[in-house]
Structures are given as structure tokens and as C-alpha cells.
Amino acid sequence: MTLVKKSDWPSMINNSLLSDFFDGDRFFDSDWLRKQSVPAVNVKENETNFEIEVAAPGLSKKDFRVTAENRMLSISSEKQEEKEEKEKDYTRREFSYSSFNRSFTLPENVNEDDIKANYEDGILKLRIAKKVIGQPKAKKAIDVR
């Protein structure tokens, strides 16, 4: 029996790391290019409403779009930035784009007409009021005359 040492590191000559990185098909199909970051969400329920907190630092109020229709709540954001630096010997322009979309199915006992949103300190807070459904009406005595 012969013991052969094999490194887990790619060789720079054959099957190199650079080839894996810059090979056309594998570079653009890489998982790291397809990953989209989605902000963390907390959902709280109390007797009168639901509270949703979305952690989205670095955005402003105008970057959000919140809609509610047919018991579906959608929270989305798009932000584009362009920076340009001009120095004596060079010009540098940088572009960045970020977006996300989260959707939630609302329970039957929410009032879609009473949703309030507030963005402060990097957290989007939504308050969705509850409504009473299917509560039987109290018996009413009818006087006979």
C-alpha cells in the first residue's frame, strides 16, 4: 500500500483557482452572484394588532414600497447609488444597486385599511390592526305589545 498525499487546495497549473473563478460559465453561474440578501423580520401579535419589524439599515423612507391587497402584504425596496470621485490623475465611478421583496399572507382577522408604517433607526415598523370577525351578536330581548 502506498500513501499519497493530496492537497485540498487547487493547483495553479491544472484545475486552478483562477480558472474556476474566471471560467465564463462557472463564474456567472456561481452561487455568490445569485444570492439576494433578505432582511430579517420579527412578527409580534397582541390583542389589538400585529407588529412587523423589518431590519433594513441604510435605506430611507422613500426607498420602501408597502402594499396590501387580498390579504397579501408586500414589502419591497430598491436603492440605486452612484458615486464619482475626480482627482488630478484619475476618475472613479462606482454604482451600487440593492433590492428585496418580502410577502406575507395576512390572517382573516386583520383590517387591511388600518396599516401604519414607520421607518426609524434602520427598522421599518408596521402596525396592522385586528378586526373582530364572526363574533355572534348578543341576544336582544324584543318587547311584545
Strands 123-130 and 110-120: antiparallel
**Count of alpha carbons within 13 Å of 19, Cβ hemisphere only?**
7
pLDDT of 44: 95
Return the H-helix or E-strand segment holding 66.
strand 64-69
Q: Which long-range contacts (CB under 8 A, 24 or more apart) does 135-139 make?
A: none
- What pLDDT is attached to residue 141? 76
Domain coordinates in residue numbering, the chain? 39-130
Q: Supply the pLDDT for residue 99.
A: 87
| CATH architecture, range 39-130 | Sandwich (2.60)
Question: Which residue has cell 399572507?
Answer: 105
Name the residue among 75, 76, 93 with its Cα closest to residue 84: 93
Q: What is the CA radius of gyration of the chain?
A: 27
Mean pLDDT by groups of 10 residues along the chain of 145 residues? 51 53 55 65 94 92 92 90 82 82 91 93 94 75 79
What does the pLDDT read at residue 10? 53
